[in-house]
Amino acid sequence: MPELTTKLKEYRAKLDMKQGELAEKVGVRRETIIRLEKGQYNPSLKLAMDIAKIFGTTVEEIFFFEDE
């Protein structure tokens, strides 16, 4: 089964944004962002869309399946 992967860290680095800042903007705690970046947690659709909105891109650009 393909695994959900993320480019969240790269997008965050582009904007020079800390994990805590992103967490505050999308209304979650820092641990959630850490787990997301490590691929240990699958976000809800709302959280994924909120994150995509922060980076001005689409959900598919940030979260995608490994084999794609």
Partner 1 sequence: MLNLKNKILSYRQYYKICVIYSIINAFLWAFWGIAELFIMKDNKSLLFTIITYALLLLSFFIVTEIFAVASAMRDKEDELYKENVAKTNSSFLWFLLFTGFAVFIAVNVIRNISDTNTITLTFHEGFIGSLIYFLYAVYNGIVLHYENCTAEEDNDA
Positions touching partner 1 (CB under 8 A) are 18-20, 27-32, 34-35, 37-38, 41, 43-44, 47
Ranges assigned E (strand) in 1-68: 4-6, 63-65
42 vs 8: CA distance, rounded Å: 13
Whichever of 55 and 67 has its CB closer to partner 1, that residue is 55
CB 39, min distance to partner 1, A: 13
CB 17, min distance to partner 1, A: 9
